[in-house]
Amino acid sequence: MSREKTGGRFGIIDLGSNSVRLVVYASVERHPVLVFNEKVMAGLGRSLASTGRLDPKGIERALNALRRFMALREQIGITTLVVAATAAVRDAKDGADFLDRAEKICGFKIMLLSGLDEARISAQGVLSGIPHAEGLVGDLGGGSLELVPVAGGKPGAGVTLPLGPLRLMDLSHGSLAEAEAVVERALGEQPWLKDYKDKPIYAVGGVWRNLARIHMAQRNYPIHVLHQYVIPARDAADISRVIERLGPKSLAQIPDVSERRVEALPFGALVLYKLIAATRAKEIVISAYGLREGILFESLDKKEQQKDPLIEGCRDLAGRLARFPQHGNEFFK
């Protein structure tokens, strides 16, 4: 991977189709401790489907965010930094030009992920947080949908499909009916999805997390933790259909809908509904871990990867807060 190889705090800048995000972890370890997280909704891929190029305003927003994040690097004390670019930059005619400008700001080479790399790393991220996951990982970004089987603690051969909400909105000129035909056609070309009947879909991505928040609110769920939150497939399909039918004004009035996601939410809901129909999955399991955590996970050695994240998290907490942290080790001999 393209990064500066030093110790200490580990940072990742994710140049996505919709957002540019900086996350910083205390160090490279099995249980990542998040110390900083900032996102800018740049919209790099907003006009990609119709023009084949990155959105001009999105380019400037993304580069400005990158300048800010590189300035923050010294303030936060990041010593190892990875910058990764995904679907929009990968697919755009002017993606290489954008990378040249971005690399001048960074001062080192940016990692441009292929579709298969993006799918694999996203699945590794899910497995890093849910080691015993068995089913199908679906990572919905602004420009693409990655679908990857997971079993036995390993990702299988995945695919990347141009079904991100931003791309669908552009391709369909904002028409959900046109977008529905695009999604049906793309998923229909993946007959292997039928193998995931009665299995879980591990859902990654901000739009799908928003749907989970709505479900939580409907059920008065008392614990507002999204990671590993389970939605029965029928509930997820019902919510998706309702969201599709609501206009922007109605969506904006829902307390648990992020203002920045209002435009994309119906298209993300459409993709989830059609994916449930294609797989006949049993349930949707929300994963807070995805591409960024996968990058961190792949930086660990094999021995460290085999450790249980819950136990390592408890050890970390005990080490920082307990009077005699070594006592806990007696339970795991």
Q: Are strands 34-40 and 283-286 parallel, antiparallel or unpaired?
A: unpaired
Give 25's contacts (C-beta < 8 A, 6+ positions apart).
9, 10, 11, 32, 33, 34, 35, 296
pLDDT of residue 2: 38
Is the separation of the CB atoms in 244 and 153 below 8 Å?
A: no
My answer on whether 126 and 30 are in the same domain is: no
My answer on whether 68 and 164 are in the same domain is: no
Return the structure tokens found at 249: 């004004």
CA distance 191 to 199: 16
pLDDT of residue 255: 77
Residue 223 lies in a domain: yes
Please give the chain's pLDDT, 333 residues, in tens: 333 334 589 999 999 999 999 999 998 888 888 999 999 999 999 889 899 999 999 999 999 999 999 999 989 999 999 999 999 999 999 999 999 999 999 999 999 999 999 999 999 999 999 999 999 999 999 999 999 999 999 999 999 999 999 999 999 999 999 999 999 999 999 999 999 999 999 999 999 999 999 999 989 999 999 999 999 999 999 999 999 888 878 888 887 777 777 888 999 999 999 999 999 999 999 999 999 999 999 989 888 888 888 888 888 777 777 776 777 676 665
Of 92, 113, 134, the one marking the end of a domain is 113
Range of the domain at 59: 9-113
Give 146's strand partners.
Answer: 139, 160
My answer on whether 250 and 122 are in the same domain is: yes
| Residue 223 burial by Cβ neighbours in a 10 Å radius (0-12, 13-18, 19+) | exposed
Residue 280 lies in a domain: yes
pLDDT of residue 333: 59
Radius of gyration of the chain, Cα coordinates, nearest whole angstrom = 20
- CA-based nearest residue to 308, from 124, 179, 132: 132
pLDDT of residue 5: 38
pLDDT of residue 29: 87
Residue 53 belongs to domain with CATH number:
3.30.420.40
CA distance 258 to 266: 13
Give 28's contacts (C-beta < 8 A, 6+ positions apart).
10, 80, 296, 299, 300
Tell me the C-alpha to C-alpha distance, in Å, between residue 139 and each of 42, 120, 206, 277, 284.
19, 11, 10, 17, 12
Residue 277: what are its φ and ψ, rounded to 5°? -65, -40
pLDDT of residue 1: 38
User: Coil, strand, or helix at residue 114?
Assistant: coil
My answer on whether 125 and 263 are in the same domain is: yes
pLDDT of residue 331: 67
Return the structure tokens found at 320: 């920082």
Residue 185 belongs to domain with CATH number:
3.30.420.150
Is the separation of the CB atoms in 244 and 176 below 8 Å?
A: yes
My answer on whether 85 and 210 are in the same domain is: no
Of 66, 91, 113, the one marking the end of a domain is 113
Is the separation of the CB atoms in 147 and 136 below 8 Å?
A: yes
My answer on whether 59 and 192 are in the same domain is: no
Residue 238 lies in a domain: yes
My answer on whether 142 and 261 are in the same domain is: yes
pLDDT of residue 7: 56
Torsion sign across C-alpha atoms 152, 154, 156, 162: positive
- CA-based nearest residue to 33, from 290, 293, 295, 305: 293
My answer on whether 146 and 84 are in the same domain is: no
The count of domains in the chain is 2
My answer on whether 64 and 165 are in the same domain is: no
Of 65, 83, 113, the one marking the end of a domain is 113
My answer on whether 54 and 192 are in the same domain is: no
My answer on whether 150 and 273 are in the same domain is: yes
My answer on whether 109 and 180 are in the same domain is: no
Residue 201 lies in a domain: yes
Give 117's contacts (C-beta < 8 A, 6+ positions apart).
none
CA distance 143 to 161: 9
Helices 291-298 + 115-129 axis angle, to 10: 80
pLDDT of residue 34: 92
